[in-house]
């Protein structure tokens, strides 16, 4: 079974072909990605209307590219999958519209995928895939969640952010430090030259006893420091970046360990854009190694949004029998 997957929930257009043989992890045949980062940079953030228009321009050429590289024709595609949500409504509609039009034209069934399930399952495409059950730490621009994952489609939420997401905390702090968009990678790069202990920033909900997160207060603390430093900010920017990153990472690592402890599970999967963060990876690896626990990540190139994770999630859902593709082509999207 060959699944063509389309991702268009935000500012990356992703298309991929995944092949499943009925057993084992489906194989990635090819994937292609176009990032709109350069286009949105001038505005300091994603402009939804521009994002939608660019998805329209990119999606079919990317699909042609993927098919050519996989040595596959459109006629060989068995299922067309797309991101149904969450994300920007207009951007989602482009991927859903194209997927359903392709399905109708090819007389092949279509399947809408939850974007976060794509992130969550993406480590299965790595050279060191996890085994069920595991804890998942989902850390993206819009979400911060800890889940207990028993199998495909069997997810239990253990905790989540009550305000900003971890990626949002990175992005908003980066903006306060005068760094460009997207802020997470920029802040992380600057942090490498700074002292993570230079500023004592809050670790919200660290000792709350539950597995929820809160990052809004951290952003306020960064703003207070920025205002206090005033003209001295430039000289201390790397230190403040490093201290901000350290605060976010400490909370993510401690809560992840607490989730592992409580569940008695031995494995954790980290997915979503913030999963690319080097400090998070180093600290979680060290803490888990000490306790004999395993950590799994997606390949670095599949940490942020991509089509491969959408095609994979669709293939795994179909293979596990938790969902059926449908041969009706009316579509809607779920932005929230
Ligand atoms: O998963 P993703 O690509 O999109 C969403 O579904 O939100 O995640 C994007 C988020 C952004 O907030 C971005 O700043 C953050 O992931 N991010 C990082 C890094 N790379 C991406 N945050 C910290 N360190 C990084 N290296
Ligand atoms: Zn995402």
Domains of the chain: 2-121+303-320 (3.30.420.40), 132-297 (3.30.420.40)
Q: Is the dihedral of CA 112, 115, 116, 119 positive or negative?
A: positive
Q: For residue 63, which phi and psi values (nearest 5 degrees)? A: -65, -45
Residue 236 CA to ligand 2 center (angstroms) comes to 31
Which of 56-60, 79-83, 149-153, 298-302 has the weakest average pLDDT?
298-302
272-100-4 Cα angle (round to 5)? 50
Q: Before 182, cis peptide (omega within 30)?
A: yes
Q: For residue 138, which phi and psi values (nearest 5 degrees)? A: -100, 110
Question: Of 11, 17, 1, whose CA–CA distance to 39 is shortest?
Answer: 11
DSSP H or E stretch at residue 296: strand 294-296
Q: For strand 12-19 and strand 27-35, is the pairing parallel, antiparallel, or unpaired?
A: antiparallel
- What are 109-148's pLDDT values in tens digits? 999 999 999 999 999 999 999 999 999 999 999 899 999 9
Where does the pLDDT of residue 44 fall: very low under 50, low under 70, confident under 90, or very high at 90 and above? confident
Q: Nearest residue CA, atom 13 of ligand 1? A: 184
Residue 331 Cβ contacting ligand 1 at under 6 Å: no
Residue 233 CA to ligand 2 center (angstroms) comes to 32
- Per DSSP, the three-state class of 235 is helix
Atom of ligand 1 nearest to the CA of 245: 23
Dist. CA 336–CA 319, nearest whole Å = 27
| Alpha-carbon distances of 97 from 84, 112, 119, 252, rounded to whole Å | 10, 11, 22, 37
Where does the pLDDT of residue 23 fall: very low under 50, low under 70, confident under 90, or very high at 90 and above? confident
Q: Before 250, cis peptide (omega within 30)?
A: no
Dist. CA 268–CA 146, nearest whole Å = 10
Residue 141 Cβ contacting ligand 1 at under 6 Å: yes
Atom of ligand 1 nearest to the CA of 304: 3
Annotated binding site for substrate: 138-142, 171, 184, 277
Dist. CA 65–CA 60, nearest whole Å = 9
Dist. CA 169–CA 214, nearest whole Å = 9
Mean of all residue pLDDT scores within the chain: 96
Dist. CA 152–CA 143, nearest whole Å = 20
Residue 277 Cβ contacting ligand 1 at under 6 Å: yes
């Amino acid at each position: 079974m060959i699944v063509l997957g389309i991702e268009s929930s935000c500012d990356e257009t992703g298309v991929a072909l995944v092949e499943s043989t009925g057993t084992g992890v489906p194989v990635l045949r090819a994937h292609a990605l176009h990032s709109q980062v350069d286009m949105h940079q001038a505005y300091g953030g994603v402009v939804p209307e521009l994002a939608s228009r660019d998805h329209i321009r990119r999606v079919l050429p990317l699909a042609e590219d993927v098919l050519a590289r996989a040595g596959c024709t459109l006629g060989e595609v068995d299922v067309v999958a797309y991101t149904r949500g969450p994300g920007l409504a207009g951007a989602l509609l482009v991927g859903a519209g194209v997927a359903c039009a392709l399905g109708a034209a090819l007389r092949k069934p279509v399947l809408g995928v939850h974007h976060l399930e794509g992130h969550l399952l993406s480590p299965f495409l790595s050279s060191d895939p996890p085994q069920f059950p595991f804890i998942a730490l989902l850390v993206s621009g819009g979400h911060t969640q800890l889940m207990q994952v028993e199998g495909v489609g069997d997810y239990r939420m253990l905790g989540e952010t009550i305000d900003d997401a971890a990626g949002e905390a990175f992005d908003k702090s980066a903006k306060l430090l005068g760094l460009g968009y997207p802020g997470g990678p920029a802040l992380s790069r600057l942090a490498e030259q700074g002292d993570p202990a230079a500023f004592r920033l809050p670790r919200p909900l660290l000792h709350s006893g539950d597995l929820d997160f809160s990052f809004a207060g951290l952003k306020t603390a960064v703003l207070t420091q920025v205002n206090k430093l005033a003209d001295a900010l430039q000289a201390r920017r790397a230190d403040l970046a490093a201290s901000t990153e350290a605060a976010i990472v400490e909370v993510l690592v401690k809560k992840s360990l607490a989730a592992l402890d409580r569940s008695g599970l031995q494995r954790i999967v980290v997915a979503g854009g913030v999963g690319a963060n080097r400090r998070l990876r180093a600290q979680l690896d060290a803490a888990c190694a000490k306790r004999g626990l395993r950590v799994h990540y997606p390949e670095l190139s599949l940490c942020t949004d991509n089509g491969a994770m959408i095609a994979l999630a669709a293939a795994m859902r179909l293979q596990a029998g938790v969902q059926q593709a449908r041969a009706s082509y009316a579509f809607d999207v779920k932005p929230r």
